[in-house]
Amino acid sequence: MIYTVTLNPSIDYIVKLDKLKTGNTNRVNEEYVYPGGKGINVSRILKELGNDNTSLGFISGFTGEYIIKTLEEKNLKTDFIRLKSGFTRINVKIKELEETEINGQGPNIADEYIDLLYKKLDKLNQDDILILAGSIPSTLDEKLYENIMSRLEEKNIRVIVDATKNLLLNVLKYKPFLIKPNSDELEELFNVKLNSNEDIVKYAKKLKQLGAKNVLVSMGKDGALLVTEEDEVLISNVPKGKVKNSVGAGDSMVAGFISGYLNTGKYDYALKLGAASGSATAFSYDLAKREYIDELVNEISVNRF
């Protein structure tokens, strides 16, 4: 079974308007409500591609119940831990000429609930896949991902980590199966300016040297680049389309990659399906649908670099 962990889920309230006028009443042209959070996004795309999975994490209040109800209506399996106080955050995303986000803080999570999460994860075995995605709330120990991977280290579970900065660097010693920084995050990790694909390969390989088995780098309009555990370097293009949505594209790429790899065992196809899934979400107002992903797969080419 595939398990995703979203420590701080959200309801994403997306509004479209012509121009945001601060200090005035604004009327929206369109509005959408979706369950959000990086791990939840991964779960939704995995399910869209036919891969059963279970969403883990913490929810609370009426907003948390909405997330569970919405996911179950999409036939997704959930095993969230319900907190007794607070409410799952609401993130407001305002789309006009520029995109503005107002993200909620989320509830406090006491140590007793972290222990419940550990107990759920302790039941995983080497046939399972665990995806840790997103930031760790400020109320939690910043070493939580490290603690989880240390706890599971002897089980040889394939762990995927999609996080930034020290959250990512500090888990590399536990040899995650896959990490997925984007090119901007790669620059931030090493405090460098990446001017070419050769530069991206150089620093992706440094992440491999630090412990990651596979490094997938999303590069926006320039495609995606993968350094595999065999040190093979693969690069994909980007299909044609109009970008409508920046939320969830990277998560969709992770889901597509995992689905492609599980279905074929081949890294070139995993990259192809990952690139198609990420692009399909970027070209949609919500996360991508299977039909659109299948359409874009035919426009993706993967070459050795």
Return the active site residues: 251
What's the distance, Cα to Cα, between the start and end of the chain in Å?
33
Other CB atoms within 10 A of residue 292 CB: 18
DSSP 156: T
- Decide: residue 75, CB within 10 A, 0-12 exposed, 13-18 middle, 19+ buried: exposed
Contacts of residue 37, defined as CB under 8 A and 6 or more positions apart, other chains included, come to 6, 8, 9, 10, 57, 133, 134
Q: How far from chain centre, in Å, is Cα 206? A: 22
The Cα–Cα gap between 65 and 78 comes to: 11
Count of positions (residues) in the chain: 305
H or E element that contains 218: strand 214-218
Contacts of residue 72, defined as CB under 8 A and 6 or more positions apart, other chains included, come to 78
The Cα–Cα gap between 64 and 82 comes to: 8
Residue type, position 86, single letter: G
H or E element that contains 296: helix 290-297
The Cα–Cα gap between 97 and 75 comes to: 35
Q: Is 248 left (phi over 0), alpha (psi -120 to 50) or beta?
A: left
CB 18 within 8 A of CB 259: no
